[in-house]
Amino acid sequence: MPGWLSRRGLVMRDHAGVDIRARMGWPVTAFKPGKVVRAGDNGAMGISVDIKQDDGMTARYGHMSKTLAKSGQRVEAGEPVGLVGCTGRTTGAHLHFGLLDATGKAIDPLAYLHSADEVLQPDPADIPQVLEAQSCGPVQRGPNGHPVRLGEMLKKMDSYTPPPIPTWNERR
């Protein structure tokens, strides 16, 4: 996956997995068939999906903008489960992909994942020779805990009225 991996995850503290550089909105697909055991906001991992695969391992997909799969749903390999995003603790668009063994211990996903297209499904026309990092800016949490972009919150608050701006004469 030359040019796609932004960093090897297992050497970083509290980062059990690998980050795969991607563009906002690219479909994230199930690595192997299994059952969705968690879908939604997951703190620093942002919007994520965990799939208990038929082989006993659990695959974790993080920092997505949206989930397309629901908890309890059965998914097949290659089936879209979410969209690449910038939620949680991240500074750029990417997919965090992690694998846990049957006991819940993190294992190196690169021992199993051989190509980014096993977990991503971009439009071929959208794939440049070199995939540059895509910054996503600051991400905050709204009152319901849902990740939102800076400035997005005020736009969605119907009851918010900006304070009046004093004129020059009023400032004296």
Q: Tell me the per-residue pLDDT of 142-158, one tens digit each, with 9 for 90 and over.
A: 545 555 544 444 445 55
Q: For 31, which DSSP code? A: S
Going from N- to C-terminal start, the domains of the chain cover 5-126
Asked: is 5-126 a CATH 2.70.70.10 domain? The reply is yes
Q: What is the pLDDT of residue 11?
A: 36
Q: What is the pLDDT of residue 12?
A: 42
Question: DSSP string spanning 48-91?
Answer: EEEEEETTS-EEEEEEEEEE-S-TT-EE-TT-EEEEEB--SS-S
Q: How far apart are CA 5 and CA 18, in angstroms?
A: 7
Q: Tell me the per-residue pLDDT of 21-59, one tens digit each, with 9 for 90 and over.
A: 888 889 999 999 999 999 999 988 899 999 999 999 999
Is residue 42 within 8 A of residue 49, CB to CB? The reply is no
Using alpha carbons, select from 52, 53, 80 the residue that is nearest to residue 67: 80
Q: How far apart are CA 49 and CA 41, in angstroms?
A: 9
